[in-house]
Amino acid sequence: MYRISRPSLVILLVMAIGLALYPFVGESYYIRLMTKIMALGIFAMSLDLLIGFTGLISLGHAAFFGVASYVVAWYIVKAGVTNALFMLPTAVAVSGLCALVIGWLSIRTSGIYFIMITLAFAQMLHAFFKDQSYWGGTDGFNFYTKPNLAIGDTVLLDLGNKVTLYYVTFALMVATFVFLAVLLHSPFGRAIQGVKVNEGRMRAMGYNVRNLKLMSFVIAGMLAGVAGFIEATRTAYVNPEMMSWHASGNVMVMVILGGMGTLYGPILGALALTLLGDNISSLWDHWLLIMGAFVIAVVMFLPEGIAGLIEGVTQKFGKKPPPKEETEP
């Protein structure tokens, strides 16, 4: 059952305050990089809902991220609309719709078949955007105007401004975290966690397991869409590789690295993986090798990921952990 321990809640608050103040001290390059990390954090949290809480190992999660990015590009390049007021809801809705269709078809399978079928669907979307010249083909789209948030002619937020986008992303990440934390305590959230632990018993107790999984899949797809919206806005560039299996694998590594089923872990996973990539890739061409070794090391020595490490350390330094359960009746 999901719950955040008090020490990690304190750490999270400190981190949130740090992030809120960062643009006052950070360099422009790092503000943009942190925006990327927070967007990937949303993306990774959304996958954690599937892997860590519902027990659905999707290897095609980038499809929903990518589709939302393409919605942004379509609005700007094809429709000449730059208002995020239209863009964000459409992006999220289209991602959700794709998740509904893909989920409806894939959730009939389980285990390795589910992994393969989600992968296959994402590859199909990838191939679709790559082949269609209307969608920019292999090159995707570069666009020069960026979305803004406007009501009528009054621009409320210019998302082309990197500090504005940083704070919008920060707010969306916090909102996603709170949303998921609340969701996981709701009857629905408890039910999907039951599905992860013992699907058969859930069914025997009268739950429609397939519906629960599908709902979870759609919610995760929509949140991935939020992340895709931010990333397309940040880079003003979309291409089919955003939904390739590399991208899906990458976000899965973030979840595993950060600690699945911890919600905040995947944000740390996004941070670690992105910073690592950013630093080593400039030093050495074969940086993926180091990255691979790092991931293997974490998985072997920190099976519960970075969040697991934090939980362990805070428990050691905190007071004696309260006894979790009585041993004698």
Closer by beta carbon to another protein, 111 or else 323:
323
Of residues 155 through 214, those in contact with another protein by CB under 8 A are 182-183, 185-191, 194, 197-198, 200-209
- Contact window for another protein (CB under 8 A) among 113-121, 231-239, 263-271, 320-328: 320-328
Other Cβ atoms within 10 Å of 155 Cβ, number: 13
The owner of tokens 């990015």 is 69
We find the least distance from the C-beta atom of residue 190 to another protein, in angstroms, to be 5
DSSP secondary structure string for all residues of 131-190: H-GGGTGGG-EE-SS--EEEETTEEEEETTSHHHHHHHHHHHHHHHHHHHHHHHHSHHHH
Cα 159 from Cα 172, distance rounded (Å): 13
Cα 268 from Cα 311, distance rounded (Å): 13
Token pair in block for residue 263 = 């919600």
Is 325 an interacting residue with respect to another protein (CB under 8 A)?
Answer: yes
Is 322 an interacting residue with respect to another protein (CB under 8 A)?
Answer: no
Closer by beta carbon to another protein, 33 or else 183:
183
Is 323 an interacting residue with respect to another protein (CB under 8 A)?
Answer: no
Closer by beta carbon to another protein, 169 or else 176:
176
We find the least distance from the C-beta atom of residue 41 to another protein, in angstroms, to be 22
Burial (CB < 10 A; 0-12, 13-18, 19+), residue 245, is: middle
Cα 133 from Cα 289, distance rounded (Å): 35
Give the distance, in angstroms, between the CA of residue 182 and the centroid of all CA atoms in the same chain.
17
Helix ranges (DSSP H) in 205-264: 209-235, 245-258
Closer by beta carbon to another protein, 205 or else 296:
205
Of residues 40 through 99, those in contact with another protein by CB under 8 A are none
Closer by beta carbon to another protein, 79 or else 182:
182
We find the least distance from the C-beta atom of residue 215 to another protein, in angstroms, to be 9
Closer by beta carbon to another protein, 192 or else 270:
192
Q: Where on the chain is the footprint of another protein (CB under 8 A)?
A: 1, 182-183, 185-191, 194, 197-198, 200-209, 324-327, 329
